[in-house]
Structure 1
Amino acid sequence: MTRLSRTLLADGRELLYFDDAGTLPRDPATLVDNRDLPPRAEPGEVRFDALSGDWVAVAAHRQSRTHLPPADQCPICPTTPANPSEIPAPDYDVVVFENRFPSLGPVTGELPHAGAPEHSGWGLSAPAYGRCEVVSFTPQHTGSFAELSEQRARTVIDAWAQRTEALSALPGIKQVFPFENRGADIGVTLHHPHGQIYAYPYVTPRAGVLAAAAAAHFERSGGKESLAASILRSEQNDGSRMILEGEHFSAYVPFAARWPLEIHLVPHRHVPDLAALDGAEREELTVVYLDLLKRLDRLYPTPTPYISAWHQAPLVAGLRESGRLHLQLTSPRRAADKLKFLAGSEAAMGAFINDTTPEAVAERLRMVADPALATAAPQEGKHA
């Protein structure tokens, strides 16, 4: 069972150690951060875009954040005498800590209402309420999530679940978003395998669109079926885009995929977030998620850059009930030596043009399954 230890860094930021099952209890002395850090920066701000109805975070202080440091200066490697890092302990399994250069937070609160009929919303701003956390998957400076052991991957999933529950309870938080940016082509600023968690004081634009569609479908069905369940059933019946089907989770390339590589991983049970998954579901998620990441890396001779985005139901009445947890795993890689860039149509209009067919991508992802998992992992899609 994952064990949790809490401490504070020298500037007051929270840090949590999540230990693998079987790890020995931590020496309390290793929880002390002895660095002389400057006080935390004041929160940035969020500004309301009256044209779109979106909130935009303004975080100029992030210009000075750490950018691709050498291994001996990595801020999330374990502390050494030569490198007093963000992690006081000389070793760890998984850690989560408040970002030193956050886009949101550290304070939380309610944003002002932007929908008053007598006000256009122009000029409306507020403190950048919320929370931004870093999740380090391993003390090893090199590697990737796909190379973690199943035990370590399960610890990360337990950490995501615990942080989802804790952050969801903070005042003013409307959405919790765990994610990983992997690869220089995605724009990572640290080579060390890690992810992040954002707790937003508003429902993000993409989540708002997804939640509205889910709520409308739920209402049309008389509250009997979620949109995610309906889509999964349709994908299973068609079969051409299925990648794998398990007892608790299934993965497929969506019918209208926007990206050259795009995978949706969905639970069979209606759950709003990672915190709601039971033990059996987390066990299977560990295996399936590692499997999907490894398939991405088998597609080409070099590692595939990706964004792993965990969509969780917003913490808003009317959207929470119909929203359903799912993973959106995407990559801009459209060939071994080509990337898709968001140019005019995508960046300006939000109108995506895909250079690949979802059916062909699904076929390739089925073909690169690890033969060693054939008897232990969930079964392949029926058209494999």
Structure 2
Amino acid sequence: MMGSSNPHPHCQIWASDEIPHILKLEDQHQLKYFNTKQSKLLADYRDTECRNTERVIVENDQWVVLIPFWAVWPYETLVLPKYEVSRFGDIDMSALKEFAKINQKLLLAYDRLFQTSFPYSMGFHGSYEKTNDKHWLFHTHYYPPLLRSATIRKYLVGYEMLAEAQRDINPEQAAQTLRLHVQ
């Protein structure tokens, strides 16, 4: 359930004739990394996290869910493919089925964590160009606002809005807690 004045479930699809700032930054950083290392930033990051496993929540043959080290929200997650795909439309049917399964596992773990229909914002990020996408790795962001219970939300205020985010729990603790609720 989301919404500030009247919480309610909803879905929004946004389209724009301009690339949003966050996507521009993701694109710039991924391109710079690719031009320097000749490999994909998020693929290298995924591989590092999969070797370490401390922040990995759940994985299957084609996808991994983890709490990124830069997470702002207590149980923020990143869903990454274990293979090279730049945009949602390029995911084949087999991988799409596994994508649905791993997202379902994550969402049910969220629900079990605080024994409620867990609120979240989620978005797909992928290359917006078909001709210049060698540096991109499709991924999904989940931003759930709950902090310590079904009734305690995290709000970005004061210092977090004007300077930088503050963590209430570290990504490793959040991953350990969320992992306990995956079935």
Same fold judged by TM-score > 0.5? yes
Task: Work out whether 1:246 is the aligned partner of 2:60.
Answer: yes
Do the aligned partners of 2:59 and 2:102 also contact (CA within 8 Å) in 1? no
Shift of 1:257: 1.1
Q: Judging by fraction of residues, say which structure has more helix.
A: 2
Change (3 A) 1:366 1:211: same
Do the aligned partners of 1:263 and 1:328 also contact (CA within 8 Å) in 2? yes
Partner in structure 1 of residue 177 of structure 2:
364
| Cα distance between partner residues in 1 of 2:142 and 2:17 | 24
Partner in structure 1 of residue 42 of structure 2:
228
Partner in structure 1 of residue 126 of structure 2:
312
CA deviations on 1:37-79 (whole Å, 9 max, x unpaired) are xxxxxxxxxxxxxxxxxxxxxxxxxxxxxxxxxxxxxxxxxxx
Alignment of structure 1 residues 180-259 onto 2, 5 Å: 183-184=1-2, 186-187=3-4, 191=8, 193-222=9-38, 225-259=39-73
Partner in structure 2 of residue 328 of structure 1:
141
Secondary structure (helix, strand or coil) at the match of 2:118 reads coil
Do the aligned partners of 1:314 and 1:323 also contact (CA within 8 Å) in 2? no
Question: What amino acid sits opposite 1:276 in the alignment?
Answer: D
| Cα distance between partner residues in 2 of 1:303 and 1:357 | 23
Change (3 A) 1:264 1:202: same
Question: What amino acid sits opposite 1:267 in the alignment?
Answer: P
Alignment of structure 1 residues 293-312 onto 2, 5 Å: 293-312=107-126
Secondary structure (helix, strand or coil) at the match of 2:176 reads helix
Number of residues paired by the alignment? 182
CA deviations on 1:64-98 (whole Å, 9 max, x unpaired) are xxxxxxxxxxxxxxxxxxxxxxxxxxxxxxxxxxx
Question: What amino acid sits opposite 1:265 in the alignment?
Answer: V
Secondary structure (helix, strand or coil) at the match of 2:105 reads helix
Do the aligned partners of 2:56 and 2:175 also contact (CA within 8 Å) in 1? yes
Shift of 1:190: 7.8
After superposition, the CA RMSD in angstroms is 1.9
| Cα distance between partner residues in 2 of 1:348 and 1:190 | 26
Shift of 1:321: 2.9
Shift of 1:356: 1.1
Do the aligned partners of 1:207 and 1:314 also contact (CA within 8 Å) in 2? no
TM-score when scaled to structure 2? 0.91
Task: Work out whether 1:286 is the aligned partner of 2:103.
Answer: no
| Cα distance between partner residues in 2 of 1:209 and 1:346 | 19
Shift of 1:303: 2.2
CA deviations on 1:115-168 (whole Å, 9 max, x unpaired) are xxxxxxxxxxxxxxxxxxxxxxxxxxxxxxxxxxxxxxxxxxxxxxxxxxxxxx
Matching residue within 84, 91, 98 for 1:277: 91
Shift of 1:239: 1.0
Secondary structure (helix, strand or coil) at the match of 2:77 reads strand
Shift of 1:308: 1.0
Shift of 1:270: 1.8
Q: Judging by fraction of residues, say which structure has more strand.
A: 1
| Cα distance between partner residues in 2 of 1:212 and 1:288 | 28
Change (3 A) 1:242 1:342: same
Secondary structure (helix, strand or coil) at the match of 2:14 reads strand
Secondary structure (helix, strand or coil) at the match of 1:266 reads strand
Alignment of structure 1 residues 116-135 onto 2, 5 Å: none
Secondary structure (helix, strand or coil) at the match of 2:127 reads coil
Do the aligned partners of 1:249 and 1:285 also contact (CA within 8 Å) in 2? yes
Do the aligned partners of 1:241 and 1:254 also contact (CA within 8 Å) in 2? yes
- Structure number with greater CO (CA < 8 Å, separation at least 6) is 2
Question: What amino acid sits opposite 2:12 in the alignment?
Answer: Q
Do the aligned partners of 2:113 and 2:178 also contact (CA within 8 Å) in 1? yes
CA deviations on 1:14-39 (whole Å, 9 max, x unpaired) are xxxxxxxxxxxxxxxxxxxxxxxxxx
Task: Work out whether 1:353 is the aligned partner of 2:166.
Answer: yes
| Cα distance between partner residues in 2 of 1:189 and 1:369 | 30
Unaligned runs of 5+ in 1: 1-182, 371-384
Shift of 1:217: 0.8
TM-score when scaled to structure 1? 0.45
| Cα distance between partner residues in 2 of 1:266 and 1:230 | 11
Shift of 1:331: 1.2
